[in-house]
A and B are shown apart, each in its own frame.
Chain A
Amino acid sequence: MLQTSDVTSVKPQTDGRRERYLAAFRWMLLARVFEEKLASLYRGGKVIGGVFLSKGQEALSAALGVALRKGDIYAPLIRDSAGRFAFGESLLDAARTCIGSRLGPMRGREGNIHRGKPREGYYAMISHLGVMVSTVSGGLVARRFKGVRDVVGATCIGDGGTSTGSFHEGLNMAAVEKLPLVVVVANNQYAYSTPTSQQFACADLVDRAIGYGVRGHKIDGTDPQACFDVVGEAVARARAGEGPQMVVADLLRLVGHGEHDDAHYVNHALKVSPIGRDCLEVARAQITAAAWMNAMQIDSLRDQLQAEVESAFATALREPLPDPNLEDWRALSTEALAEGRA
């Protein structure tokens, strides 16, 4: 039998701990500043379509992004600005996608969270939840065929997404194939308006790990240090050939499902409970307690990131928008086989 789903004992690496923490913190802070700007542009009518923010989930998201390396496969989901930046996405490309710039990687064909660069290992999600579990697994199977070692594939999902058939099929398959897959589940207590009580009946999502035959890890997603340590360990175990890892983090979505949603349905008791903590505030406290940075240094880092964000959006906003006359209106890569008629 494979691993238990118990909370794993965390064996923190102590060397380089400060550097790793601060690197991840920077991505968390960048994500927060980026998303605040995005929300304000949305309110100002500059962003068309939905805007989905990750407030409260930056630590978990960044934890995965920093644990991965170039050459790994990463398929983020809705609330992963921090992880995306940590994995290497450029701020400008993120801004371009949200604005719809023709020069961005999605060329205005796709907006916001659906962005990615699959050929760089940065897979672009479709909306249908759960599908990336098997897709990343397929990427890992390909790497195995090619004899590539030391590679990890990771994807993120929410509590709601775990109810899909795709999630189940994908994780079971990855377990059968013993793939170096890490699935990070952000249990933020809601799927849109639906509370977890209406989503699953197991005591804890991590209990599913044993059923799939994968190792389960449980974290307080509001505790950045715990996120960095446990997600780091899960990625290390996958890389070491121990098979799929399922990380379940408890936290709370501190914003609406999207910016259109006032989230009035969120239980007040959760907001004032430990799960409702803002991981960024916790990070500040952890950093200043360890005397790694003082409050002034953190503020000045924030100012610096703010300037970078402003500049990225200013650039994206000046860039040309997509132009239907410049589109080839072709969905096939095989030009000779494209019908080319509407």
Chain B
Amino acid sequence: MAITYLEAIREAQAKLLADDPRVFIYGQDVGNFGGAFKATKGLAKEFPGRVLDSPISEDAQVGLAIGAAIEGMRPIIEMQFADFSTCGLNQIINHAATMFWRTNTKCPITVRLPCGGTAGGGPFHSQSMEALYAHYPGLIVLNPATVEDAYSMLIAAVHIDDPVVFCEHKYLYYHLKADALPTEALPIGKARVARPGRDATIVTYSAMLHEALACAEELAKDGWQIEVVDLRSVKPLDTDTILGSVARTGRLLVVGEAFPWGGVTAEVVARVATEGFSLLDAPPMRLNAKDTPVPYHPNLWGTHRPTARAIIGAMRELLHA
């Protein structure tokens, strides 16, 4: 039986609801309708009164979750699209994120963000928001790239005593399939070597993992062995695994789907440059989306975001640097 990335997210929530009476889900159209993407399909029926439709009020949705968390609940907030989470930004970054530090009170909320680009999505249904949230102290930001991680990391997220921004990639929802749900998982905060190699390292996360793996596969035909590291969690960032890989390969390309200014790829390069400069045989490289809003038409979107082809181009440059 094949299970998709999206089904894994649904199954994780079903398990969380079944195992823990403190868990509830709150979001637009998540109830009987099962969510815009069907990530909560059937859950309202299976768990009466615990999967609730909210008004279109992102600020209040997060505020409600924070209040419930103070009282000991484990709310999961579904944003209909990651892009709309900006309407709840204040509650996430200023309220949830500061709660523990200011008041010594835990704030275990999980905000699910359907993020990333799909063909025809356009500027307001395509964004990758991880860098924005990762910037703020007090938040954990997760970016699962596999079906297994989508499942186990969501379960872990809800168990974490701090606010978690869970970035699930819409492009992977239906595309990505696994044979079964995992029974064990790497801990949160650990990156994973998704493909071993010795000539160069690609550090990436979320949907870009699959573009990077395709690049490594292609370059293998020319005899290159590219190591691919899947960050899994962008905050905390597993610097040790990154440095370990760069120590093996001496060359680093960091790939992300988000906008180019700052962000996760810049953070990774900064850490390698400051903590592992001597490991590098060539200047580290970054590949990101372009510095414009995400375009609607696939002709433009395909160039705006990094693809396997673009990664191959960058990698050839790096290998010959």
Contacts and interface: CB of A to CB of B under 8 A. Distances in A.
B174 interface: no
Interface string A111-128: 100100000000000111
A286 interface: no
A199 B29 CA distance: 11
Contacts of A108: 295-297, 299-300
A48 B297 contact: yes
Given A192-B29, A329-B290, A331-B293, A111 B122 contact: yes
B291 interface: yes
A12 interface: no
Nearest to B297: A108
B300 A128 contact: no
Contact of B32 (A48, A193, A323): A193
B298 A48 contact: yes
Interface residues of B, number: 43
B292 A330 contact: yes
B59 A165 contact: yes
Contact of B291 (A110, A198, A327, A329): A329
B55 interface: yes
Contacts of B295: 108-110, 322, 327
Contacts, number: 126
Given A127-B124, A321-B297, A342 B288 contact: yes
Contact of B121 (A49, A109, A327): A49
Contacts of B86: 128
Given A127-B83, A127-B124, A324 B292 contact: no
B260 A48 contact: no
B302 interface: yes
B217 interface: no
Q: Give the interface size bracket for A toward B.
A: 35 or more
A124 to B, nearest CB: 11
Nearest to B84: A128
Contact of A48 (B54, B120, B289): B120
Contacts of B29: 192-194
A50 B121 CA distance: 8
A108 B122 CA distance: 9
A222 to B, nearest CB: 24
Given A108-B295, A109-B293, A127-B125, 6 more contacts: A110-B295, A110-B296, A192-B28, A193-B53, A324-B304, A330-B291
Interface of B: 28-29, 31-33, 36, 53-60, 81, 83-84, 86-87, 119-125, 260-261, 288-293, 295-300, 302-304
18 contacts: A48-B119, A48-B296, A49-B119, A49-B120, A109-B295, A114-B124, A126-B124, A160-B55, A163-B55, A166-B87, A193-B29, A198-B53, A322-B297, A323-B299, A329-B292, A330-B291, A338-B291, A339-B291
Closest 9 CB pairs of A and B: A49-B120, A193-B33, A324-B303, A127-B124, A163-B55, A108-B297, A48-B120, A100-B297, A111-B296
Interface of A: 48-50, 100, 106, 108-111, 114, 126-129, 160-161, 163-166, 191-194, 198-200, 265, 321-324, 327, 329-331, 338-339, 341-342
